[in-house]
Amino acid sequence: MHNYSCWFQSIEDPNYKYDINEVIYRCPSTGSLLEVEQDVQELKKSPPQYWKDLFDSRYRKQSWPYGSGVWGKKEWVAPFIEDKNIVSMYEGGTNLFWAEKYGKQIGVEDLWIKMCGNSHTGSFKDLGMTVLVSSVKQIISNGTEIRALACASTGDTSAALSAYCASAGLKSIVFLPKNKVSVAQLVQPLANGATVVSLDTDFDGCMKIVQDVCKKQQIYLANSINSLRIEGQKTISIELCQQFDWQIPDWVIIPGGNLGNISALGKGFLMLRDMGLITKLPRLVCAQAENANPLYKSFLNNFEKFDSILAKTTLANAIQIGDPVSVKKAINILKIFDGIVEQASEDELATSSARVDLTGTFNCPHTGVAITAFEKLVNKKVIKKSDKVVIISTAHGLKFVDFKINYHLENLDGISNQFSNHPIEVEADTDKVMQALEQKVL
């Protein structure tokens, strides 16, 4: 019988530890963010091959809940949750495909895209939310009263929270910046029965309100300041190594806004290394929209200082964040991974996104930001043609059809139309149709 455990600890001083069943988001003593620390010494009593075999034996099987990409790694993620309290909708297990055609165009042939948006609610947020909502069920079954779960969101966190709460029979409250999320992102929490509060502010404004609300009532905060989510999201790194048969790529590129996911990605790789499943680390790249680029600015001065900014509107709305909650974690990670921060203008992200779609994807604007970063680093010869590169696609393109259609119909101000493609309108007459086709394709 194993005795795996984990606890919260301050990211500034590991002497401050807290029980994993406590409702706690920041270290009361240092005021810093918390992280979940796993008992690696206990886990290491089993050798690396044991873990590889265990994870492989569960991967994408139907033996609930272990077929889930997150719960297949339960011992490394949230060993304290009893199976009966797990709220899973079979997250993870997303395809990691060889972007052969696009890679050839750029000249980097070992290029892969990890489709984290091919998931229950259409974004990687499901990975963290299954852990958070399951933890809440565990806490409730331990006797703590929790009346509802709440989050501020740029659209994808709220969709994930609402779906997992609906599945668990818990109440959810989501705070959205008015007119700043896509139609799909607005309708998801509505459909799942969440209380949707539309606020006339930006994401950072919503974040302040939700933190106040959660201080007052027995309302549980579900934003990624809550480090339980990071534990689920760190399975992205574990899963992609697993998909490469436990080899690691040279580079992983990911778009960043609130900076939880870049932190999670790094945490996953560090755990793989500490557990002996891998021996070296990839380099990480965090890609930001130029209109919301506080981390990029900090990177330019070697992270010597960080200033939050007022984020401007960007097509990549899920990363329109000027005051990222997880900035300290992200900077720590980027330092360890010899990391780079790149940025993409609106024109660049829209153009990159459309270009890759022409090789068969349907990617979201945030993925477009990561693709631009990739192209820039190849042009600068930082990424070498022989390198193995993974781009993390964070959401499904179908959540962002307004962006896509407006690009193709050339309705976006200031965006060039290199790859736009509009319907041709022709009379329903075979000769006229043939004429039109001859001009366009033949």
Ligand X SMILES: *Cc1c(COP(=O)(O)O)cnc(C)c1O
Ramachandran assignment for 125, one of left (phi > 0), alpha (psi -120 to 50 degrees), beta (any other): alpha
Q: Footprint of ligand X on residues 88-127 (CB under 6 A)? A: 123, 125
Which of 43, 87, 166, 319 is the binder for ligand X (CB under 6 A)? 319
Task: State the DSSP code for 391.
Answer: E
Interface segment toward ligand X; rule CB under 6 A; list 40-48, 187-195, 259-267, 347-355: 259-267
CA distance 351 to 349: 5
- Is 366 an interacting residue with respect to ligand X (CB under 6 A)? yes
- Is 329 an interacting residue with respect to ligand X (CB under 6 A)? no
Residue 327, classified by CB atoms within 10 Å of its CB into exposed (0-12), middle (13-18) or buried (19+), is buried
Q: How far apart are CB 229 and ligand X at their closest, in Å?
A: 9
Q: How far apart are CB 407 and ligand X at their closest, in Å?
A: 17
Q: How far apart are CB 264 and ligand X at their closest, in Å?
A: 7
Residue 138, classified by CB atoms within 10 Å of its CB into exposed (0-12), middle (13-18) or buried (19+), is buried
Interface segment toward ligand X; rule CB under 6 A; list 35-43, 62-70, 72-80, 254-262: 254-262
Q: Which of 401, 393, 397, 360 is nearest to 94 (CA)?
A: 393
Interface segment toward ligand X; rule CB under 6 A; list 14-22, 140-148, 239-247, 252-260: 252-260
CA distance 241 to 248: 6
Q: Where are the alpha helices (DSSP H) in 33-92?
A: 40-43, 48-58, 74-77
CA distance 146 to 156: 23
- Is 156 an interacting residue with respect to ligand X (CB under 6 A)? yes
- Is 239 an interacting residue with respect to ligand X (CB under 6 A)? no
Q: How far apart are CB 370 and ligand X at their closest, in Å?
A: 9
- Is 318 an interacting residue with respect to ligand X (CB under 6 A)? yes
- Is 259 an interacting residue with respect to ligand X (CB under 6 A)? yes
Number of residues that bind ligand X (CB under 6 A): 17
Which of 255, 282, 339, 368 is the binder for ligand X (CB under 6 A)? 255
Q: How far apart are CB 96 and ligand X at their closest, in Å?
A: 17
Q: Where are the alpha helices (DSSP H) in 174-259?
A: 183-191, 203-216, 227-233, 235-243
Interface segment toward ligand X; rule CB under 6 A; list 57-65, 197-205, 235-243, 249-257: 249-257
**Interstrand relation of 111-115 and 96-98 (parallel, antiparallel or unpaired):** antiparallel
Q: What share of the chain is helix, strand, coil (3-state, %, to 5)?
A: 45, 15, 40
CA distances from 12 to 27, 267, 367 (A): 9, 16, 32
- Is 221 an interacting residue with respect to ligand X (CB under 6 A)? no
Question: What is the residue type of 222?
Answer: A
Which of 150, 275, 364, 391 is the binder for ligand X (CB under 6 A)? 364
Q: Footprint of ligand X on residues 124-143 (CB under 6 A)? A: 125
Q: Which of 365, 292, 313 is nearest to 177 (CA)?
A: 313
Q: How far apart are CB 204 and ligand X at their closest, in Å?
A: 12
Residue-level length of the chain = 442
Q: Footprint of ligand X on residues 388-427 (CB under 6 A)? A: 394-395
Compare residues 275 and 287 and give the one whose CB is closer to ligand X: 287
- Is 293 an interacting residue with respect to ligand X (CB under 6 A)? no
Instruction: Enumerate binding residues for ligand X (CB under 6 A).
Output: 123, 125, 156, 224, 255-261, 318-319, 364, 366, 394-395
